[in-house]
Structure formats: C-alpha cells, structure tokens
Amino acid sequence: MTTRTTPLLSDLRAALGDAYVLTGEAMAPYRIDWMGDTRPEPLAVLRPADTAQVSDILQCASRHATPVVPISGNTGLTHGTDAGGALLLSLDRLNTIREIRPDARVAVVEAGVILAHLHEAADAHDLIFPLTFGARGSAMIGGALSTNAGGSNVVRYGSTRGLCLGIEAVLADGRVLDLMSAVHKDNSGYDLRDLLIGAEGTLGIITAAVLKLAPKPRAYVSAMAACPSIGAALKLLHRLQAETANSVEAFELMPGNYIDAHLTRHPDARAPFEERHDVNIFLELGALSARDATPDTTGAVPMATHLETVLADMLEAGDILDATVAQNAAQRSEMWARREAAAELTRLHSPVVDNDIAVPLDRMADLISGIETATSAVDPGIPFLHVAHLGDGNLHFSGWPSTDDPDTHAAIVRAVEDVAISLGGSFSAEHGVGLSKRPAMARHKNPVALDVMRSIKAALDPQGILNPGKVLPPKSE
C-alpha cells in the first residue's frame, strides 16, 4: 500500500482522522464504476462524517488549489466521477435519514442515503419517494440530485428536480449554502436549488436535501400491449392519462428486436404475446384511490377493469394488436423483469455504443426511423437495441459497431444525437453529461447557453476545483 504524506494530506488527516483519508489500494472499491471498469487513480479518497467536514475539505482544497470530485453511490454512466489526481470526496458516511414528516409530506435526508433505504423509510409511513431505477440498491440521493436522475416513473412524478424542495450544499470555498426549505412555494430570489441540482458537483457539493413524499398507490395494474405504430401507442397513453386522472406510472417501449434478444438470453422466459410485434408497450397504472383499488369478488380492482375496457375498445379500433393484463404479482414481476433486463441485454455484445436521448412525444416515431437510417449510413447494417421511457419521450439506444475503431464509435453516437437534435430533442435526457457527453455539449448546446454556464462556473468556482472538466466543454472543444 502506497502512503503519501504531503501538506495537503496531512491537513486532511488532521481534519477527518487517518481512517477516513484513503490512499493506494484502499481506494480500489471507489474506482470501479457501475460498468465494472477501473477509473483513473485519485490523489486520495476522503470520507467525511458530516457537512462540517465537507466544508473543512473544501477549505483545505481551496487553499491548496486541489480539485475535489464528489461521489456517492457510484452508479453514474457518464464518467462524471472520474478523479485522476484529484480528491475523491465520498458522501457515503452522510447516510442519515434525519426526519420523515408525514403531515408535511417530506423527508429530510443526507446525500449518502441509499435510494432503496429511503424507499423503505417512506413505506413505513404509507408514503413513497417516487424516484426509482435499476441501481436503487446502490445509488445515493446526492448522486441522484447531482445528475437530476430520471427513471421509470418520471411520467407521473417528474425527475429528481421535481421531487426536491430544499438542499444544503458546500461551495468551492467551503461555505455552506443552506436552502433546506420544506416549503412548496418560495419565491425569494434566484432558484439556486435547481441550479445546483443537475450540475454534477461542478458548482457545489450537495450534502443534504428535503424531498417530497407522495401517497402510496393502493394497487398497481400492469399490462403489456402491442400496437401497430408508435402513434397508436401514444394514443393509448393519452387516453389512459385522460381516463385515469394521470395514473400512468410507467409507459415503456420495447421494440420487437428487444423482445427477441430477451427471449434468446432467457430461453425460459415467456414471450409477451403469441405473435411477434414491433411495438411492445409495458404500462403500469398506480391506483391511488380506494375506489380504484378495492378488489371486487373476482379479485379485480376497478382500475384493472377499466384498463381492460380501454384495451378491448382500442383492439376493436385497430390501435392495439394484442394485450394482456397482469393477473397477479408474479405476472407483474415478469413484466418488470423483461423491462429491467435492458442493462443486461445491451451489454451482451461488444463493443457497444449508447445514447440517452429525448424528443418531444410527438416526434418519437421520427426519432426511431431516423436513427436506423443515420446509424446505417455510418456503419451499414449495424445491429442495435432500443428501449424507451415512451411516456417521457426518452429513448436509450445501444448499437454494436462492426469495428473497434473509436472514430466510428464516436460517429455513431453523433449520428444518433443529430437525429434527436433535428427533431427538437436533447442529446442528454436522464444520465447527465459527465465526461462522456461533453463533446455533444460542445456540438449541440446553444453557444450562448454554454457561455452563460461558463460565466456561472467561473463566478462560483473561480479556481475551478469542483469536479473540473465535467459537464462544460473547454472553449476549444
């Protein structure tokens, strides 16, 4: 094990205690990312106990002009926590759920709280913290806020930003910005909360938050539907929203080749339908009201009965080709497992390139056809897999290029981004920018917006020590 003694590390050991300043091999667990890759070596890994120690670290780093990179659950997908030569500041010890206030419908949590732990704590009060995604057992609140994470039920509850009332953050110079409000309406100056959320630790390090809780659905009604087109699927979405008081919690698109890949990988799995279809939708309704959720003598809940009526009606009209409603928890789990296999299925082949893009809802069909044309122009016949949060207009593309050539990989990524941008979309929907989408920022972000972002960065972090190199491309890029 390497040990280093520099004035900086001595200061940090004095502030945190030796046990919480890791160097050498001890840093290994913090360097392995969600994809299993080992990332560049930090100067040290720091594990502060509380906000005051985070402030100590930033004061120390400011004095020594040393970069600091925050990390929490380490489940990011854009290399946003790469910390070569920097101090990697882990928030994992700030893991207290300080308070659940059921009557105010809020939770007060620290940045190192694991998402699944907050789910459990809210559940004990018959409430939910709605944010959820595959990595919920590892992902922490700090990272979710810093990347404005999305997930599977944004269509009903919004992204992380929409679920947060207040934050506490430590600035580059160590000052603590206390915006820990539990108030729903607060127009007292600039919206610094939303500026720090999604800034990926480049403007400040979020240490705590006040989060909104929501009533827990009393029942879930889950279904698979095959549609003749994306347009028909959107018709189903809009009709369900209008007829169930916006109770759609998930509306996920799995194209035909996604289903094929799932069945190939899991030969014991059942196909969703007898025939193969191109547009397969997994949808889930959350029945919040007793009237929607109280089972009748057959065990069906009224919302399920209503869904079956809508599906039958649209089947008759030709807007649905086949449909099946989950009859029990096992069938619901089977539907979720098919959707949550995405991370596994997209990594079946190598090399892989991927995109996390979004378009307005009424442009999704054009996005899908456009991507096929554009990627084939770069790498003819390139196989790919889509999976989409269709309710949010958010598509995840994974392609398997015919070559290892990094220029071709980059050209494929760019081709997909170009299609999204040409349809009024975004090259970055829910995973953030980090390092990997910085080139896209340079190519596609409104140059005035980039310039304003750089001005804000310079104003808040004049030495550039907070997660340097992330989010904002250099002017020359």
Residues 288-347 contacting a copy of itself, CB under 8 A: 288-292, 302, 306
Residue 284 Cα distances to 47, 137, 313, 326, angstroms = 40, 22, 18, 10
| Residue that the structure tokens 């300080």 belong to | 98
Cα–Cα distance measured from residue 315 to residue 78, given in angstroms and rounded to the nearest whole number: 41
Query: Judged by CB under 8 A, does residue 236 bind a copy of itself?
Result: no
Binding residue for a copy of itself (CB under 8 A) from 112, 201, 255, 432?
432
Q: Which is nearer to a copy of itself, 19 or 459 (CB)?
A: 459
Other Cβ atoms within 10 Å of 348 Cβ, number: 13
Instruction: Considering only the stretches 44-52, 60-68, 402-410, 431-439, report the one whose residues sit in contact with a copy of itself under the rule CB under 8 A.
Output: 431-439
Q: Which is nearer to a copy of itself, 290 or 337 (CB)?
A: 290
Cα–Cα distance measured from residue 74 to residue 344, given in angstroms and rounded to the nearest whole number: 18
Query: Judged by CB under 8 A, does residue 192 bind a copy of itself?
Result: yes
Query: Judged by CB under 8 A, does residue 363 bind a copy of itself?
Result: yes
Secondary structure of residue 330 in the 3-state scheme:
helix
Binding residue for a copy of itself (CB under 8 A) from 54, 131, 154, 307?
154
Q: Compute the least distance from the CB of residue 189 to a copy of itself, in Å.
A: 5
Instruction: Considering only the stretches 10-18, 113-121, 220-228, 425-433, report the one whose residues sit in contact with a copy of itself under the rule CB under 8 A.
Output: 425-433
Instruction: Considering only the stretches 86-94, 267-275, 397-405, 445-453, report the one whose residues sit in contact with a copy of itself under the rule CB under 8 A.
Output: 445-453
Q: Which is nearer to a copy of itself, 289 or 422 (CB)?
A: 289
Q: Compute the least distance from the CB of residue 286 to a copy of itself, in Å.
A: 8
Cα–Cα distance measured from residue 62 to residue 102, given in angstroms and rounded to the nearest whole number: 40
Instruction: Considering only the stretches 112-120, 322-330, 336-344, 388-396, report the one whose residues sit in contact with a copy of itself under the rule CB under 8 A.
Output: 388-396
Instruction: Provide CB contacts within 8 A for 293, sequence distance 6+.
Output: 217, 218, 219, 287, 301, 302, 303
Cα–Cα distance measured from residue 459 to residue 345, given in angstroms and rounded to the nearest whole number: 43
Query: Judged by CB under 8 A, does residue 26 bind a copy of itself?
Result: no
Q: Give the footprint of a copy of itself on residues 164-183 (CB under 8 A).
A: 171, 175-179, 181-183
Binding residue for a copy of itself (CB under 8 A) from 332, 334, 450, 464?
450
Instruction: Write the binding mask 130 to 149 for a copy of itself: x where contact by CB under 8 A, - elsewhere.
Output: -----------------xx-
Counting residues that bind a copy of itself (by CB under 8 A) gives 95
DSSP class of 282:
E
| Closest listed residue to residue 368, CA positions, set 224, 230, 232, 226 | 230
Q: Which is nearer to a copy of itself, 23 or 241 (CB)?
A: 241
Binding residue for a copy of itself (CB under 8 A) from 197, 206, 227, 341?
197
Q: Compute the least distance from the CB of residue 456 to a copy of itself, in Å.
A: 6
Q: DSSP secondary structure string, 399-437?
A: E--SS--HHHHHHHHHHHHHHHHHTT-BSBSSS--TTTT
Q: Which is nearer to a copy of itself, 31 or 396 (CB)?
A: 396
Q: Which is nearer to a copy of itself, 46 or 169 (CB)?
A: 169
Alpha helices (H) in 65-165, listed in sequence order: 115-123, 141-146, 154-157
Query: Judged by CB under 8 A, does residue 429 bind a copy of itself?
Result: yes
Instruction: Provide CB contacts within 8 A for 145, sequence distance 6+.
Output: 111, 160, 164, 167, 196, 197, 198, 206, 209
Other Cβ atoms within 10 Å of 34 Cβ, number: 15
Which helix (H) or strand (E) segment holds residue 70: the answer is strand 68-71
Which pair of tokens denotes residue 236?
Answer: 């189903």
DSSP class of 466:
B
Query: Judged by CB under 8 A, does residue 425 bind a copy of itself?
Result: yes
Phi, psi values for residue 223, rounded to 5°: -155, 160
Cα–Cα distance measured from residue 154 to residue 417, given in angstroms and rounded to the nearest whole number: 22
Q: Compute the least distance from the CB of residue 377 to a copy of itself, in Å.
A: 24
Cα–Cα distance measured from residue 471 to residue 462, given in angstroms and rounded to the nearest whole number: 16
Which pair of tokens denotes residue 326?
Answer: 């989950």
Q: Compute the least distance from the CB of residue 448 to a copy of itself, in Å.
A: 5
Instruction: Considering only the stretches 66-74, 252-260, 323-331, 455-463, report the one whose residues sit in contact with a copy of itself under the rule CB under 8 A.
Output: 455-463
Q: Give the footprint of a copy of itself on residues 390-419 (CB under 8 A).
A: 392-394
DSSP-based helix, strand, coil % in the chain, nearest 5: 40, 20, 40
Query: Judged by CB under 8 A, does residue 190 bind a copy of itself?
Result: yes
Query: Judged by CB under 8 A, does residue 184 bind a copy of itself?
Result: yes
Instruction: Write the binding mask 96 to 125 for a copy of itself: x where contact by CB under 8 A, - elsewhere.
Output: -----x-xxxx-------------------
Q: Which is nearer to a copy of itself, 33 or 430 (CB)?
A: 430
Instruction: Write the binding mask 244 to 273 for a copy of itself: x where contact by CB under 8 A, - elsewhere.
Output: xxxx--------------------------
Q: Compute the least distance from the CB of residue 3 to a copy of itself, in Å.
A: 36
